[in-house]
Structure 1
Amino acid sequence: MNYAEALDYIHGTLKFGVKLGLENITALLSLMGDPHKSLKFIHVAGTNGKGSTVAFISSILMESGYKTGIYTSPYLERFTERIKIGIEEISDTDVARITYFVKEKVDELIRNGGNHPTEFEIVTAVAFQYFFENNCDVVVLEVGLGGRFDSTNVIDCPLAAVITTISYDHMNILGDTLEKIAYEKAGIIKENTDVVLYPQSDEALKVFEEVCNDKNSRLNKILVSDFDILESSIWGSTFFHKKYGRFEIHIPGEHQAVNAVTALEAVNILKEKGFDRICETAVDRGLKKAVWPGRLEVVCKDPVFLIDGAHNREGALTLAKNLKEYFPGKRIIIIVGVLKDKDYKAIIEPLVPIASEFIAVKPQSNRGMEAQELAIILRSYCNEVSVSDRIEDAIRYSMKKVSKSGIICAYGSLYYIGEVRKFFNV
């Protein structure tokens, strides 16, 4: 099996859909020798901010000299982005070799009467095997969907369970209230877990407090009163924490300072558990060096062209807030593509007040909404709406149309944001 054949096999399992539950992944990993049981994890769940928080935590651990495995999803440009040790992505050769090994175990599982694993279960198994073979000191593990029945939740009690912001997304699977969604995310909390919790709504907070109480787990709540954002721009933020001091980050957006504080609390727990190489210098450097592509990222400076992976209401509200704050009074052209199974009105409406023009595109996914269909919806909000059949055409059109002082922002789905990055060769 070569790399292309490995990806064909992995993506070919999309037909098995999303099946939440731990039976399949448990059986598959057992046949593989349970590689995950030899690893230590920081488990990160939440609606938004998971990736950025993973980036901050892993960057600090790398600066501290720890061999750090990183598992995230989805990817922007390359499948190998999802599985890394430090800044190095898994090699094509290792993807092919380990996928072949996992496929052999999948075939054995099916012969024994088991169900065929989903794509995410197979990728998770590949990641665990890779981290095990490389003897990682710690793995920063991002939940794929939800928490309670997500494949990553096959792990035993993590060093820390980190939960970022909770809002409405995947409601057909996770539930239609914040309480139901929070309960699914809280599923990563096991007995005697150290939990780090991003500031939450009262409804969500109550759920997390109850679960922690039931599980005898220690809840570490991030309080906005504990830190001040000193300055913020499209290039990052500086904040001061009463306990930890002054820090600088280069992932833009004031909300990223809260994610950074969440990461600080998580690594402090690790320090208490014997990760004594974590020092003030490593923390400072780690936060400064952390990057997370596709989130309010400037991919071109002339004209200013931003990309953002906002794909739900909270993400869109945050994007709109940041654009208004960083580019007051500017003409803003918005390129948008959404998935048809998302709450697309909730994604569009927050950007309507600041958009001078919308350009509709279709994400390269079988779940992508057709650009013409999206344009009809956009025209109910805005008079200036155009359609591009190809994403690169939308980019070129917007760059011709924007004024010298104007701004372009592409958002709505991570499924096409990677294509925009490729266009600019970021």
Structure 2
Amino acid sequence: MIEEITRYLYAIPRFARTGGLEQTKERLRLLGSPEKSFHYIHVAGTNGKGSVCAYMESCLRNMGYKTGLFTSPHLIRINERIRIGNQEISDENFAEAFYKVKNLIDIQKEQGIAHPTFFEFIYLMAMTAFQKAGIEYGVIETGLGGRLDLTNAVEKPDITVITSIGLDHTAILGDTFEQIAAEKAGIIKAGVPLVYLDDRESVSKVIREKAGEAYPVKKEWIHMDSVKPGRLDFSLECPYFEKYDIMLNTNGIYQTENGALAVTAMEVLKKSLNWTLSEADFRKKIIEGLARMTWPGRMEAVAKDIYVDGAHNDDGIRELVRSVETIFPEKNIYLIFAVAEDKDYREMIHHLCGLKHLKGVMVTEIDNGRRRDFHEVMDIFKENWNGNIQGTYNVNEAIRAERSRKGKDGVLICTGSLYLVGHVKEILGGI
């Protein structure tokens, strides 16, 4: 049954002309307004929004609340997009949510109403599943942008969070930081507190102009204490609350910013929702929740000395390079790289070729209909680096070759696309 449902969903266009936000609001109403049955936490941004969502969900769950988590894309199974508690939605509950939404869509189809996009269908399923499960807090990641994103159909979330803003999806969102920031800032609502990463003044200015109650988080408030493979210790000192000492189980240095955003958002939520935990217990639950969370596909170890990272834009690759050089300062580095056709891969490659101790590159392709020919990508690598560059359309072959080339002492990094990450994890069994 799940295979049949998955085929149906994958056949739905990713982008199509629909009724937009108003149609989504109407569909939610006809489904019984499931999004109003729980506290709604809304997170937008270019990079890090999935991680912030996961950190916040883990903290809330550790406090004893029943949680739901809606993120995208998935790496291997479509069920990953909808999580209840610490588990992805079961096939049975996925199917139940699917048919509830499909029954509504079938009725609307007879009325001449356009079919929802793939993302809207999954979002409606998630809201339905969350209501049935009786969750208390739903942490919702936007799909694309914010202002017109279908997750923005909710009237008044409990809090909004905007993570790092970078240049991605420029054909849809705009080709400047300010234009993209304006789209992301579309999730800001009157009377709803906002937490955002204050890392580019031009971006922050756009956000401040739209925000009411706002809590910027500055990078200089984050102080790294120690870095070890698989573990980061840092402190967060800001004007809103007392200092936090935080440990994250990750190799991604960039996750400190996402952890800081999650902590700040939790502190703001505490103030607005009047939680009854003592201050000491609250802080303990937050610190434990952050430490327990591991988010797949972000500097994730999937085999000995093999890591996957879903960085797929300029800023993401910059942060990946920083993490690799910090965690593995003396190791020889080998890359497997693939990229979608709609990405600005030239800058990504330029930064990757600046990696210290880079010894080999294998370019391959993602198999999802949006792949960019590996020969084109190889040419750009050759313009930026005169080392050993190879290519193959076959990801299995890419892994075999680079695993052999890196030997016992090298580190292999697979990056450029979350679709590549999912494929590598599936091949290596890192599920």
TM over 0.5: yes
Q: What are the residue-to-residue correspondences of 1:37-116 with 2, within 5 Å?
A: 37-116=36-115
Q: Name the structure 1 match of 2:381.
A: 378
Q: Which amino acid aligns with 1:372?
A: H
Which whole-Å CA distance do the structure 1 matches of 2:220 and 2:415 have between them? 31
Q: 2:422 aligns with which of 418, 421, 426?
A: 418
Is this contact kept in 2: 1:234–1:253, CA < 8 A?
Answer: no
Of the candidates 400, 404, 411, which is equivalent to residue 400 of structure 1? 404
Match of 1:388 in 2: 392
- How big is each residue's C-alpha offset from its partner over 1:378-408, in whole Å with a ceiling of 9 and x where there is no partner? 2222342111232111111111111322111
Tell whether the 8 Å contact from 2:349 to 2:380 is kept in structure 1 after alignment: no
With normalisation by structure 2, the TM-score equals 0.93
Displacement after TM superposition at 1:76 (Å): 0.7
Q: In the TM superposition, what whole-angstrom CA distance separates every residue of 1:14-65 from its partner, at most 9, and x where no partner exists?
A: 2654869313322322221221122211101000011111111111111100
Between 27-36 and 333-342, report the one with greater CA deviation: 27-36
Q: Which amino acid aligns with 2:374?
A: A
- Report SS of the residue matched to 1:198: strand
* Maintained 8 Å contact 2:247/2:287: yes
Q: What letter corresponds to residue 315 of structure 1 in structure 2? A: G
Report the Cα distance in structure 2 between the residues aligned to 1:403 and 1:92, rounded to whole angstroms.
Answer: 40
Deviation at 1:197, TM superposition (A): 0.8
Partner of 1:166: 165
Superimposed CA distance per residue, residues 168-203 of structure 1 (whole angstroms, 9 cap, x where no aligned partner): 111111111111101100011111110001123011
In structure 2, the partner of 1:291 is 294
1:24-423 equivalence runs, <5 A: 24-212=23-211, 217-242=212-237, 243-272=242-271, 273-277=273-277, 279-301=282-304, 304-354=305-355, 355-383=358-386, 384-423=388-427
The share of aligned pairs that are identical, in percent, is: 35
Amino acid at match of 2:366: P
Q: Distance in 1 between matches of 2:313 and 2:129?
A: 32
Q: Which residue type is aligned with residue 387 of structure 1?
A: G
CA 1:373/1:19 → structure 2, altered by over 3 Å: closer, same or farther?
farther
Taking only aligned residues, the RMSD between alpha carbons, in angstroms, comes to 1.6
> Which amino acid in the other structure matches residue 206 of structure 1?
K
Q: TM-score, normalised by structure 1?
A: 0.95
Q: Please say if residues 47 and 169 of structure 1, whose CA atoms lie closer than 8 Å, have aligned partners that are also in contact.
A: yes
Alpha-carbon offset, residue 346 of structure 1 = 1.9
Q: Which amino acid in structure 1 is aligned with residue 223 of structure 2?
A: D
Equivalent pair of 1:361/1:371 in contact (CA under 8 Å): yes
- In structure 2, how many angstroms separate the alpha carbons of the residues matched to 1:114 and 1:86? 34
TM-aligned CA distance change 1:276 to 1:393, over 3 Å: farther
Q: Deviations over 1:239-276 (max 9, x none)?
A: 12332421111122232112111101111122121233
Counterpart amino acid of residue 293 in structure 1: P
Give the length in aligned residue pairs: 419
**1:276-316 deviations in Å (ceiling 9; x for gaps):** 34712211210110111110111122xx1111001000001
SS class of match (1:44): strand
Q: Distance in 1 between matches of 2:276 and 2:250?
A: 26
SS class of match (1:353): coil
Aligned residue for 2:266, secondary structure, equals helix
State the shift of 1:338 in Å.
0.3
Question: What is the SS of the residue equivalent to 2:20?
Answer: coil
Counterpart of 1:368 in structure 2: which amino acid? R
SS of alignment partner, residue 373 of structure 1: helix
Q: SS of 2:312's equivalent?
A: coil
Matches of 1:391 and 1:17, distance apart in 2:
31
Instruction: Note the residue ranges of structure 1 that are not aligned, 5 or more in a row.
Output: none
Determine if contact 2:222/2:256 at 8 Å carries over to the other structure: no
Contact conserved, 1:16 with 1:116, CA < 8 A, in 2? no
Single out whichever of 414-423 and 12-21 deviates more from structure 2: 12-21
Structure 2: distance between partners of 1:127 and 1:163: 21
The 3-state SS of whatever aligns with 2:224 is: strand
CA distance in 1, matches of 2:231, 2:427: 24
> Quick one: distance in 1 between partners of 2:267 and 2:71?
22
In 1: Cα distance, 2:289 partner to 2:145 partner: 28
Q: 1:232, 1:253 within 8 Å by CA — same for their partners in 2?
A: no
What one-letter code is carried by the residue in structure 1 that aligns with 2:401?
Y
Q: 1:150 to 1:15 in 2, by over 3 A?
A: closer
The whole-number CA distance in structure 1 between the counterparts of 2:409 and 2:393 is 27
